[in-house]
Structure 1
Amino acid sequence: MRLDIQPNERAFTTKEVAESLELATATVRRYGQILERNGYEFFKDGDRRIFVRSDIEALIALRDTEKSQDETARDLVEEQKERLKQSTEVAIPDTDEQMLRDPAQLSEFFQALATQLAAAREMNVQLSNDMNELKSKVAQLQQDHHVISSGVGNFAQKTSKNMEKLSEQQKEHYENLLDQEREKNEILKNELQQMREEQRQEWQSQTEFNKRLEESMNQPKGPLGKILALFQK
């Protein structure tokens, strides 16, 4: 159990540490994993790490190290063990009986315990604020989703109506073109029939004229015609 927290020391969340060190939240989590893998101990709220000043200093050392991060993490773990050992020697007597006999040590123990409780309360307040912020963001996302869904639905409905209107207009246009073509075909048909009738009449008239001409040619005319008629006999 960690007893190295200082009186009135503030606790920080992962997000606050990331902002303070100008690191990505994922980087802070990765540094925490490297430290824990080598034996470092964090204050925890469930699975969430709670950082105090000494933890932030460890993260800075891990960030700025020129050695491998695991080697630096092992050095930091040794420093923490030594610090915890010293804190335990001050805060926790060798026996309960001795602690009860020494008011000064008992006072230090309760002071350290009160400090931890204060840090836990502050941590709970921060967690509560984070939860409220998260709820607000979720509510905003839900509202945005509703607005987007409504917009998409209205757009789809409007597009469907426009497509139906366009389809009706195209259908009407094609029907008008078809009627116009039918009228043109009917007019051309009548004109062709009329032309054929005129041609037939022209041929008939020409035939009758040729017939009359032939008959006229076959009938003798005047004295010369009568003489020619004698020879023809």
Structure 2
Amino acid sequence: MRYDIQPNERAFSTKEVAEEVGIATTTVRKYGQALERNGYEFFKDGDRRIFVRSDIEAIIVIRDTEKPIDITAKDLAYQQKKRLEGFNETDLAISDTYDMSSQDPNQVKDLLKVLANELAATREMNVQLKNDMSQLKTTVSKLQQDHHVISSGVGNAAQKAQAKMDKITEQQNKHYETLLKQEKQKSEFLLKEIQNMRDEQQIEWRSQNDFNKRLEEAVHKPKGIWERLISKFRN
């Protein structure tokens, strides 16, 4: 556990670190995960990392290194471990039975100053967290509104598209029915024409057959009758 917070030291959120270092918040989280993976310790508020100046300097080292991230993170974790060995937890903690009246007033004053600074840093972090939560709620609300607008727009567009498709389908059906009716009328007309031609042909054939029969009968009749028949045709 870390005990290296300094008097009047400011705490930073992930967003503030990203703005100061000039990288994305996701990149800050990525570097933080790499540091923790190699043994580096952060101050924590639950699962949320709280950055101090030494942490920001570590993030900058990773940002600017040309080495693999894990190798640099491992070196930084080792350096932090050595640095923390110079701090003593009892220098910052007061037990329930601690008697400050027997201590040097200046030492007590310094201790209270450190605690006051820690309290101020905690309050600042709480304010920042509150602001972040407010921004998050605003963002979520806006996303919900955008989702509603997009959903409504998609629904309206789908309805319009469906109505247009229905109209086109109806027009196509009407056009098809008209063409079908026209083709049926043409077919019926052609059938009538063909039937008329057949009837006329049959009449012509019957007329020709009658003529051939009369001619054949005339040929087989006596000469006088034949001459009378010819004279009839001549008249």
Give the TM interval when normalised to the shorter protein.
0.7 to 0.9
Structure 1: runs of 5 or more not aligned: 226-233
Counterpart selection for 1:220 from 196, 203, 223: 223
Give a deviation string over 1:157-207, Cα, whole Å, max 9, x none: 122222222222222222222211221121112111111111111112212
Q: 1:107 to 1:38 in 2, by over 3 A?
A: farther
Residue 188 of structure 1 corresponds to which residue in structure 2?
190
Q: 1:88 to 1:55 in 2, by over 3 A?
A: farther
Give a deviation string over 1:61-85, Cα, whole Å, max 9, x none: 4555669331331122211332x34
Structure 2: runs of 5 or more not aligned: 228-235
- RMSD (Å) for aligned C-alpha atoms: 2.9
Residue 42 of structure 2 corresponds to which residue in structure 1?
42
Residues 77-156 of structure 1: pairs in structure 2 closer than 5 A = 77-82=81-86, 84-85=87-88, 89=91, 96-97=98-99, 100-156=102-158
- SS for the counterpart of 1:44 is strand
Residue 165 of structure 1 corresponds to which residue in structure 2?
167
Q: 1:196 to 1:4 in 2, by over 3 A?
A: closer
What is the number of equivalent residue pairs in this alignment? Answer: 218
Residue 5 of structure 1 corresponds to which residue in structure 2?
6
CA distance, structure 2, for counterparts of residue 200 and residue 38 of structure 1: 110
Q: TM-score, normalised by structure 1?
A: 0.79
CA distance, structure 2, for counterparts of residue 35 and residue 195 of structure 1: 102
CA distance, structure 2, for counterparts of residue 182 and residue 27 of structure 1: 75
CA distance, structure 2, for counterparts of residue 204 and residue 117 of structure 1: 127
Whether 2:15 is the aligned partner of 1:15: answer: yes
CA distance, structure 2, for counterparts of residue 20 and residue 73 of structure 1: 22
Give a deviation string over 1:27-47, Cα, whole Å, max 9, x none: 433443454456544322111
Q: TM-score, normalised by structure 2?
A: 0.78
Matched to 1:55, the amino acid is D
Q: Larger deviation: 190-199 or 13-22?
A: 13-22
Residue 232 of structure 2 corresponds to which residue in structure 1?
none
CA distance, structure 2, for counterparts of residue 62 and residue 192 of structure 1: 96
CA distance, structure 1, for counterparts of residue 85 and residue 26 of structure 2: 26
Matched to 1:51, the amino acid is F
Residues 20-31 of structure 1: pairs in structure 2 closer than 5 A = 20-31=20-31
Matched to 2:44, the amino acid is K
